[in-house]
Every structure is written in structure tokens, then in C-alpha cells.
Amino acid sequence: MSEIEIITDGGRCRRWSAAEKLRIVEETLHDSESISAVAPRNGVAPNLLYRWRKLMLEGGSVAVYQDDSVNGNNIVREIEAHIRELERQLGRKTMEVEILKEALDKSRLKKTDLACAVVETGRFAMKVVAETLGVSRSNLHERLNGRAKPRRGYHKA
């Protein structure tokens, strides 16, 4: 007679606890047995055990527990360097904005005249220019359409 094997697990995926994963991986590391021998004894597919072992060697128990790869220190250092560069650029741009605002306050031209010149270049939206320079958008719009004329300076008698 020949033997017949009946599979009754229903094809479900088994969930392994972190302790079980670590115990099985430690068997492959400490004993002289191969992964192919340890896997069937514990009811684990050999390719899954190879994956657990690789994760364990790369990142320790955290990687095995989360079933995820581990980012190396060099990736973290690259990201931190990129963040520092972005913060440096942001600081420089903030300082440029402060310098330009101070120069605008000391300018002999009126803010509306400067705003008109900037809007006419077509690089920036009228709303953004008006907000940045502290000029009324409606006044700027009227000036650009030629319906309003610049006022003269006020001289006290």
C-alpha cells in the first residue's frame, strides 16, 4: 500500500510571535544544523527562515519582530545631512526676505510704484506681491490698469 498525506490546515498563514522567530533563528545560528534541517522541524518554510535570519543579522530582533528591513546608519546620516542643508537654505532665504523688507522701508520710491514694477515683470502673482510689500491689492490693480494716478507726497505747511 502507498501512503497518502492529507493537508488539513486550510492554507492559512500562520502568525509567528517574535519569541518563536528568535528561537528558531537562534537554532540556525548556534547549532551546526543547516536551515534546511531546522525549518521543517519547526514547521517553517526554509525561504521564510532564510529571510528571518537575514533580517536578524542585519538589524537584530527589532527587524524580525516587525518583519521589516532595517535602515542602516548611513541612510539616517544622509537624511539628517539633507535636513541640515534644507534648514540652512531656509535660514538664508528668511534672512534675504528680511533684508529686502528693510530695504523697501528705506526706499525713496513709494511701495505701490515698486509693487507695480514687480507685478509688471510677470514673475509673481499680484496677490503675493501686494501681501509681501504691504500694499493694497485693489490700489495696485487700479494703478496697473491706469485708472489711478500716484499721489504726491504730503508736505505739512
Residue 2 lies inside a defined structural domain of this protein:
no
Indicate the number of domains in the chain: 3
79/114 same-domain check: no
The 3-state DSSP composition of the chain as helix, strand, coil percent (nearest 5) reads 65, 0, 35
Output DSSP code: residue 2.
Answer: -
Q: Hey, what's the cell of 37? A: 534541517
pLDDT, averaged in runs of 10, over the chain (157 residues) = 63 75 84 82 88 77 55 78 95 86 74 84 86 86 80 63
Q: What is the pLDDT of residue 12?
A: 60
Check if the beta carbon of residue 52 is closer than 8 Å to that of residue 21.
Answer: yes
Range of the domain at 128: 107-145
Q: If you write DSSP's letter for every residue of 39-84 in order, what string do you get?
A: HHHHT--HHHHHHHHHHHHHHTHHHHHHT-----HHHHHHHHHHHH
Q: What is the pLDDT of residue 81?
A: 94
95/112 same-domain check: no
Residue 10 lies inside a defined structural domain of this protein:
no
Q: Hey, what's the cell of 30? A: 548556534
Phi, psi angles (nearest 5°) of residue 114: -65, -40
Those residues whose C-beta lies under 8 Å from the C-beta of residue 153, and which sit 6 or more positions away, are none
